[in-house]
Amino acid sequence: MNKKTALVIGSGFSGLSAAINLAHKGFEVKILEKNNSIGGRARQFSESGFTFDMGPSWYWMPDVFESFFNKFGKSVTDYYDLVRLDPSYQVVYENGDAMPIPAQMAELKKLFDSIEPGSGVQLDEFLKQAAYKYEVGINQLVYKPGRTLTEFADPKLLIDVVRMDIFQSMAKHVRKYFKHPKLIQLMEFPVLFLGALPENTPALYSLMNYADMALGTWYPKGGMFKIVEAMASLAEELGVEILTDHEVTSIETKSGKVSSVETVRGSYSADVVVAGADYHHVDDKLLSKADRNYSEKYWDKRVLAPSSLLYYVGLNKKLDGLLHHNLFFDTDFTPHAHNIYTDPKWPDNPLFYASLTSKTDDTVAPEGHENLFLLIPVAPGLEDNEEIRDHYFKLIVKRMEEYCGQSILEHVVYKRSFAHKDFVSDYHSFKGNAYGLANTLKQTAILKPSLKNKHVKNLYYTGQLTVPGPGVPPSLISGIVVANEIVKDLA
Digit-coded pLDDT (tens) for 41-99: 999 999 999 999 999 999 999 999 999 999 999 999 999 999 999 999 999 998 899 99
Element (H, E) at 45: strand 44-47
Whether residue 44 contacts residue 223, with contact meaning beta carbons closer than 8 Å, is answered with yes
* Nearest residue to 274 (alpha-carbon basis) of 106, 469, 23, 75: 23
CA separation (Å) from 401 to 101, 213, 355, 479? 22, 29, 15, 42
Instruction: Quote the DSSP letter at residue 213.
Output: I
Provide the CATH topology of domain 105-213. Answer: Guanine Nucleotide Dissociation Inhibitor; domain 1 (1.10.405)
pLDDT digits (tens, 9 = 90+) for 153-209: 676 666 666 678 888 999 999 999 999 999 999 999 988 767 778 888 899 999 999
Q: Where in the chain is the domain with CATH 3.50.50.60?
A: 5-80+223-301+438-490
Give the model's pLDDT for residue 334.
Answer: 53
Q: Work out the end-to-end distance of the chain between its first and last CA atoms, rounded to an integer number of angstroms.
A: 15
Q: Where in the chain is the domain with CATH 1.10.405?
A: 105-213
- The partner residues of 386 in beta bridges, in order of sequence, read none
The residues of the chain scoring below 50 in pLDDT are 333, 335-338
Q: Where in the chain is the domain with CATH 3.30.519?
A: 303-427
- Cα separation, 453 vs 450, in Å, equals 7
Whether residue 185 contacts residue 329, with contact meaning beta carbons closer than 8 Å, is answered with yes
Cβ density class 433-472: b for 16+ within 10 Å, e for less: bbbbbbbbeebbbeebbbbbbeebebbbbbbbbbbbbbbb
3 state SS of 338: coil
Q: Does domain 303-427 have CATH number 3.40.50?
A: no
Give the model's pLDDT for residue 151.
Answer: 83
For domain 5-80+223-301+438-490, the CATH class is: alpha beta
Element (H, E) at 8: strand 5-9
Cβ density class 184-222: b for 16+ within 10 Å, e for less: bbbbbbbbbbbbbbbebbbbbbbbbbbbbbebbbbbbeb
Q: What Rg, from alpha-carbon coordinates, does the chain have? A: 22
Give the model's pLDDT for residue 331.
Answer: 85
Instruction: Write out the E strands in 290-425.
Output: 307-315, 325-328, 352-355, 370-378, 412-418
Strand 44-47 to 50-53 pairing: antiparallel
Give the model's pLDDT for residue 66.
Answer: 98
Instruction: Quote the DSSP letter at residue 418.
Output: E
pTM comes to: 0.96
Give the model's pLDDT for residue 192.
Answer: 74
Give the model's pLDDT for residue 335.
Answer: 47
CA angle 253, 488, 278 (to 5 degrees): 50
One-letter amino acid of 129 = Q
3 state SS of 206: helix
